[in-house]
Amino acid sequence: MAPLVAIIDDDVGIRKALRTLMRSASYRVETFASVEAFAASVEAPDCIITDVSMRGMSVFELAGFVRSQGWCVPIIMISALPDDDLVQRAVGAGARSLLRKPIESNALISLVEESISSCTPSPQPPVQL
């Protein structure tokens, strides 16, 4: 079965574009409008791509949630306005990378492939928040 990529972004256009891109690279894809919606899902993904700036639960809380589940799931964060402080916070929270929008398609696909091969997630369902 193809690896599962979870895409979390409150912008429906970005979710659709990333879903199309990841499917073109033969990944299974689930999309979520918020971290809370992701946390309510029942399947651990093989990789997470998430926007940094969203309402509700932050991506830094998302990283903590993933760790609390015992999952080895790489998180790729994206932002329109990354700065040095944000990069340090993202890496400190456990992000594999922080990419600047607009994202170069081939670079993202390569990063997802590399990230997925770097760890194997545990098959545990998430807890409800």
Chain Cα centroid distance, residue 2 = 17
20 within some domain: yes
Q: What pTM does this model have? A: 0.86
126 within some domain: no
- Number of domains within the chain: 1
68 within some domain: yes
Task: Print the domain residue range for 26.
Answer: 4-117
79 within some domain: yes
Determine which of 12-16, 25-29, 39-43 has the lowest per-residue pLDDT on average: 39-43
pLDDT of residue 74 exceeding 80, the answer is: yes
Looking at residue 106, its pLDDT comes to 95
Chain segment 32-68, per-residue pLDDT in tens: 999 999 999 878 999 999 998 888 888 888 888 898 8
Burial annotation 11-38 (CB, 10 A radius, 16+ → b, else e): eeebbebbbebbeebebebebbbbbbeb
The enclosing domain of 88 has a CATH number of 3.40.50.2300
63 within some domain: yes
pLDDT of residue 91 exceeding 80, the answer is: no
128 within some domain: no
11 within some domain: yes
Looking at residue 82, its pLDDT comes to 63
